[in-house]
């Protein structure tokens, strides 16, 4: 293979790669719509996470208060 042919093959691969990356990027932007069921499930999970986080904060605050009493 000559140098010209090698450059054109490399350029073709680079162009195809760039087009593929652009297509994946553009197609993923518009496909993030959730159904009502998915939103409800996500909200339940977020509620449970918040509940556990609040319990954790309460316990750590209680320990700090107890530590500072003595």
DSSP 8-state assignment for residue 54: H
Examine the domain organization and report whether 28 and 44 are in the same domain: no
Examine the domain organization and report whether 38 and 28 are in the same domain: no
> Which residues have C-beta within 8 Å of that of residue 1, sequence separation ≥ 6?
9
- Enter the pTM of the model: 0.48
Examine the domain organization and report whether 38 and 21 are in the same domain: no
Report the number of distinct structural domains present in the chain. 2
Examine the domain organization and report whether 22 and 42 are in the same domain: no
In the chain (70 residues long), the average pLDDT of successive 10-residue segments reads: 64 87 73 84 96 93 86
Examine the domain organization and report whether 42 and 23 are in the same domain: no
* Owning domain of residue 23: 1-33
Examine the domain organization and report whether 62 and 45 are in the same domain: yes
> Measured between alpha carbons, how far is 6 from 10 in angstroms, rounded to an integer?
6
Quote the mean pLDDT of the chain. 83
Examine the domain organization and report whether 40 and 28 are in the same domain: no
> Measured between alpha carbons, how far is 23 from 35 in angstroms, rounded to an integer?
24
As a whole-number percent, the residues of the chain with pLDDT over 90 amount to 34
Write out the two tokens for 17: 């790669």
């Amino acid at each position: 293979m000559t140098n010209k042919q090698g450059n054109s093959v490399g350029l073709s691969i680079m162009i195809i790669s760039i087009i593929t990356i652009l297509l994946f990027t553009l197609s993923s932007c518009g496909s993030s719509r959730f159904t009502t069921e998915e939103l409800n499930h996500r909200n339940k999970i977020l509620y449970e996470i918040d509940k556990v986080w609040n319990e954790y904060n309460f316990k750590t605050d209680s320990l700090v208060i107890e530590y500072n009493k003595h």
